[in-house]
Amino acid sequence: CMSTRHRALSTLHLISIACQVADGMTYLEEQHIVHRDLAARNILVGDNLTCKIADFGLARLLKDDIYSTSGSTKIPVKWTAPEVANYRTYSLKSDVWSYGILLYEVFTYGQTPYEGMTNQETIQQISMGYRLPRPSTCPPEIYGVMLECWKGNAEERPTFLALREKLLLAEESLIH
């Protein structure tokens, strides 16, 4: 359970976790694979906080940079980009949105995103421009990265490679 051990994890530990996940997602991005279920629950953490992305049950190879599903598929709404919730279209950029939610989970030590909101309310609030607030334990630089992941226009969201760079810069500014 993250909350009981969280005092032992410093901000730099959390950034290390974030960077490792970004590394793994950069690899998937290069292979044109969309994960579609990126969330803290699908990250395996081993010795020395070594992180591995798991649960590829929903992963798909993108033929045209977009993957569409029929309405019957269940989706984890609170981790899901608005274009997926509304139109069922997945892309590498929808994984970037989910990564922003994963960052929120990491920097709140496992808090549920949009706590107290139903899936429907979450979708409505997001489409009206609401974004999760900055966690008290989260450096502003990292929150800035989250907000970039949550841009309403998918095209404006950074690549995982760019996210990795931003995290490294944030890490350096915290060390010095």
- Is 37 among the residues known to form the active site? yes
Residue 39: CB atoms within 10 A of its CB come to 18
**List 23, 37, 55, 64, catalytic entry:** 37
Among residues 52, 7, 28, 2, which one has the least CA distance to residue 163? Answer: 28
Q: Which two tokens stand for residue 100?
A: 């922003």
The catalytic residues are: 37
